[in-house]
Amino acid sequence: MSSVTCQGCSASWDAALVPCCPRCLVAAWMATERFVRPKHDPAELPGRSERYRSVLTQDFVARQHSYLEYAATHGTWYYDTFYEMYVHLTPSPLGRSPGVGIPPGKVMPEHALDSLLIVEADSASEAHAFAVDATQHAAQVQAGEFEELNGCAAPGCDNLSVPGGAHCVTHTTHEAPGGP
Ligand SMILES: [Zn+2]
Ligand SMILES: [Zn+2]
């Protein structure tokens, strides 16, 4: 437990569990254009695709802010070693399935997906959401396709490092520009 206070919005949170301010993260995601892209938009159904794809639920689109508030406080950051970007996974956001899967060549969903994945989750311009299967994601973590965030490099600090950094939000703030 390490409570920190956001210098931007004054919210407090536990930086040992969540690396950066959840309130600011939700604000950034909500402000991102094309956060729900056509490929994953339920408004585009029915629609055929030659490749497997996932589509978000109408409920997710209608209550996106509530889902993202839940995700920002309950989800986990990973580094995607294949696509070389940060992603953010939330199993059962608001206790629901946030999306459905459409098999290749089909026009309508055939199974529920239990987790919300936000890719390029630290990008103010590129972050976007889709739905995945938690069991499959866990297998990908086992296989090394996703890596959890490291702890802060500062001695004795239990906080998570911020995405893309070696230190937690507190020690990043105190880092001297240009390093040692
Ligand atoms: Zn904040
Ligand atoms: Zn630290």
For residue 62, the CA-to-ligand 2 centroid distance in Å is 37
The Å distance, Cα 28 to ligand 1 centre, comes to 10
Give the C-alpha separation, 159 to 170, whole Å.
9
The pair of structure tokens assigned to 16 is 């040992």
**17: Cβ contacts below 8 Å, ≥ 6 apart:** 160
Q: Position 142: which residue type?
A: Q
Return mean pLDDT, the chain. 93
The confidence score (pLDDT) of residue 47 equals 84
User: What is residue 177's predicted lDDT score, i.e. its pLDDT?
Assistant: 53
Average pLDDT score over residue span 168-172? 93
Contact indicator for 67, 93 with CB cutoff of 8 Å: yes
Closest ligand to Cα 9:
1
Residue 176 clears pLDDT 60, i.e. is over it = no
The pLDDT of residue 175 is 55
Q: What is the model's pTM?
A: 0.92
CB 21 within 8 Å of CB 13? yes
Q: How far is the CA of 15 from the centre of ligand 2 (A)?
A: 9
Residue 127 in tokens: 């972050």
38 vs 13, 47, 120, 154, CA distance in Å? Answer: 34, 11, 17, 42
Q: Which two tokens stand for residue 21?
A: 């301010």
Q: Dmax of the chain from CA atoms?
A: 57
Please tell me the distance between residue 20's alpha carbon and the centre of ligand 1 in angstroms. Answer: 8
> Quick one: which ligand is closest to 15's CA?
2
Residues 63, 69, 71: CA angle, nearest 5 degrees: 100
pLDDT tens sequence across 36-67:
999 999 999 888 888 999 999 999 999 999 99
Per-residue pLDDT at 68 exceeds 60: yes
Calpha distance 121→164 (Å, rounded): 11
- How many alpha carbons fall within 13 Å on the CB side of residue 131? 29
pLDDT at 130 over 80: yes
